[in-house]
Structure 1
Amino acid sequence: MKLRSILRTVARQEAAGVGEAARRAAESLRHDPRVQDAASRLKARAGDLGGQARARADEHLERLIERRHTRPGEAVPDDVAAVLAQRRREREARVAMARARAALIAQGETPEQRRVLTLLADSTGWAGGQAGTLRYTVLLDRLAPSGDPAAEMAIHRALWTLAERRVLAVSPHGEVTACELPVTVEVRG
């Protein structure tokens, strides 16, 4: 075997080892609660900005529709007014759900609690999520996929702290549901 062939083989093996180490590091960072908390906050902020842009676009579209279907000095036709009123109700419902989602997630005091509440909001209809059941074991599997006892204990602690504060409820069958929010909840930014 020539020296050149040996050097190529060694270089390939070292490159593969470095790539594998980088993949392992990226995987461990992806499951770090601080990284997930920062990512969820960025995602929520992007969602807020997108919602604000959609609301402005809807209002602008409604003004254009009103102008198009009315003549100066005349009232908006009943069918157009009904469609516009329906659009406004739907938009207000979306805004209310977004506020409820933000208020629910804001109940979390630690990154683990916020991660639990984010998943819970995703399965809570009144918080803008897909209505469905979320099981305790599914929460553990998604938030502590490594099975690390310390990570699982942090999630257990977050769940039971939130349950004691009546932010969520856990049924005897393991279903986790969000409790209705009090009327005077402050959203921390």
Structure 2
Amino acid sequence: MRPLTVLIFCLVALNAFGQNNELSPEEQARFDQILADYSHLQVAKVHRGLGQLISDYPHLNHALPVARFAKNLVDIGKPAPSLDSVQWIQGAPAPAKLSVLVFWTPDCPHCLEDLPHSQELSCQFNDQDVQFIGLTPNDTTEIKAKIADSLRSSATSFPAGVVPEEWKTRWDLSRLPLALLVRDGRIVWRGHPLWISAETLEAALDY
């Protein structure tokens, strides 16, 4: 990964986790390296690095940024959500080698900030068998209208739909936006959509 990309990734990650004073400069530097490895889908290396970090600094097991990040690793390798229950608001996904499920809601400012980023990557990888899909865990009539307005105002063109609200519990969608990268029906990556770079998608295609 290019140095600038690593810097941007780490800054975005800190913003997503919230600024904190729980990590010393040395601890933060090691955590930043784990985040950078994660962006390249080096999951085994991430597990080793995170385990060693917590072994060296046991108090980090309860540090908010580390705990939030570690939650993303739980679903990796599990079967991906079925899209059979999706009510499509815009388009419908085509089969793809890599699917990027972006969970968002039009009432979430951070979600709206992400849409241009996801749209840009969707266009960039349009001919590389990558399919972005927007999903909102709320299927009320009111939210459907807001989704259509948000997609239109943000010029977001990839398929988008709504799923039952119980998905919030099943897939731990308490903090949005959230993205899942899916290969061969299984989750290979989970995290904030703004963490996803071109390098992340390239690594997922080669996963």
Above 0.5 in TM-score? no
TM range (shorter): 0.3 to 0.5
**Which structure would you say has the larger RCO, counting Cα contacts within 8 Å and 6 or more residues apart?**
2
